[in-house]
Structure 1
């Protein structure tokens, strides 16, 4: 099971959309994938939990999280092979870890905890709560958006993850995200060029 939670090595710039529910992560994932002509990794939890709700009228339980994490990494590793230079991820295992901590009294599966800290990404895009709350079958706690946002930001700080806080409308967020991602791509390209020249 542990192997199923690990990223397969691949030479891509990996960007994660990170933050509470209904803060524009999926919208921005699609916009960025379109801009960079690449693929984006959807949030497996939504598919998994919607199916559970439709079939059983049950919401997420602590035991679901490890299955969600495995499904998420399977999806990410599969789509990474189709990406061009940049992989946009609508979520990652660190987000699953935060939800586990916040919803289940601090409980986190040991394997999920380990993988969430070992898997690596070049940038986290932390989406702020200045977007309208949109109700659906799965979303809850609209009154605790700030508390959830704080939990997500604290996780990034605690684990020393490189992140960019995004606020404002869709266009503002997209432009700011592209600006920073372009810098990362340029830096990666320059390093490869330097490395290649050293090997001549």
Structure 2
């Protein structure tokens, strides 16, 4: 019998602590987490990102997530972003989203999204591009999550971000055993 694995996605604009908090939460709850495939993919690019690269990142993120779901014995996992990021970045940097991504968005649901707030200081990183557009991208995340009718909560805090995330997750798990 296959039990349904709940997926909790950690999403948001650049430099909001998504990868760090995803790993912290996975350790705290003793469960698995899905890495951000695009980070590894983009680190290996030798030319500007194309629509085909975005499609490749979509497929990579989905495959990585499916492999973690298949191996977990826990009732839930954490996802360090989702392929919704592919849509947001494709729209912002290439002016359109690959159709395969648009078709897949309503089919891949997450039980809870934690939208990381932009209240952390910007951290330089060669893969980050828009330090002055954080508010803009935060608004886009809100818009995209609303369009998906996603269950999401903004998590902020410069010192207590982890604790704030745990409170949201604990309440969610209590309501959704």
Tell me if both proteins adopt one fold, taking TM over 0.5 as the criterion. Answer: yes
CA contact (8 A) 1:94 1:117 kept: no
Corresponding residue for 1:197? none
Q: Deviations over 1:91-149 (max 9, x none)?
A: 112121111112222x1111111112210111111011111212222111111111111
Unaligned 5+ runs, structure 2: none
Matching of residues 122-137 of structure 1 within 5 Å: 122-137=111-126
Query: How well do the aligned residues superpose, as a CA RMSD in angstroms?
Result: 1.6
CA contact (8 A) 2:156 2:164 kept: no
Question: Do structure 1's residue 85 and structure 2's residue 78 form an aligned pair?
Answer: no
Corresponding residue for 1:31? 24
Q: What SS does the corresponding residue of 2:115 show, helix, strand or coil?
A: strand
Question: Do structure 1's residue 186 and structure 2's residue 169 form an aligned pair?
Answer: no
Q: What SS does the corresponding residue of 2:101 show, helix, strand or coil?
A: helix
Richer in helix (by share): 1
Corresponding residue for 1:192? none
Distance 2:48 2:127 in 1: 7
Corresponding residue for 1:120? 109
Residue 177 of structure 1: which of 142, 155, 165 is its match?
A: 165
Distance 1:13 1:181 in 2: 12
Distance 1:137 1:59 in 2: 13
Unaligned 5+ runs, structure 1: 1-8, 190-200
CA contact (8 A) 2:26 2:33 kept: yes
Q: TM-score, normalised by structure 1?
A: 0.82
Q: TM-score, normalised by structure 2?
A: 0.92
